[in-house]
Structure 1
Amino acid sequence: MAQKQYTVTGMSCEHCVASIKEEVSEVPGVHKVEVDLAAKAVTVRGTDLDDERLRAAIVEAGYRVADPLAA
């Protein structure tokens, strides 16, 4: 099983967590979505995970994936 992790900005409450889990769970191949609100981290586990579709799902939920190069 593959794993991808993203830093997500704009999350502030459990509603944010639920929104991200709902959108990301709909991406084909996703088996599990974990959201760490304090760390601003989203971890996705599954098979044949499509990075572009996962990022798009997070944006669709109303949040932004932080660019790791901007740190």
Structure 2
Amino acid sequence: MATKEFAVDGMTCGHCELSVKEEIGEIAGVTDVTADHTTGKVTVAGEGFSDEDVAKAVAEAGYKVV
């Protein structure tokens, strides 16, 4: 299992975190997602997902991986 951390621009509250977590959680192979708006960090665990998959999911939630 791989764990990757991403910097996400624009998360300002708990609702933002939830939106990002929900979108990333729909990616095939993702088993765990944590998001922290105070640091702007999102950690994704699982197998078979790509950085591009995560960036697309974050964009769907209305934010941007930086």
Counterpart for residue 27 of structure 1: 27
Match of 2:34, SS state, is strand
- Once residues 32 and 10 of structure 1 are traced to their aligned partners in structure 2, the CA distance between those partners, rounded to angstroms, is 21
Larger Rg belongs to: 1
Runs of 4+ displaced beyond 2 Å: none
TM-score (norm 1): 0.88
Q: Structure 1 residue 41: deviation in Å?
A: 0.1
TM-score (norm 2): 0.95
Equivalenced residue count is 66
Gaps spanning 5+ residues in structure 1: where?
67-71
Deviations 1:31-57 (CA, angstroms, capped at 9, x unpaired): 000001111000000011221111100
Q: CA RMSD in A?
A: 0.7
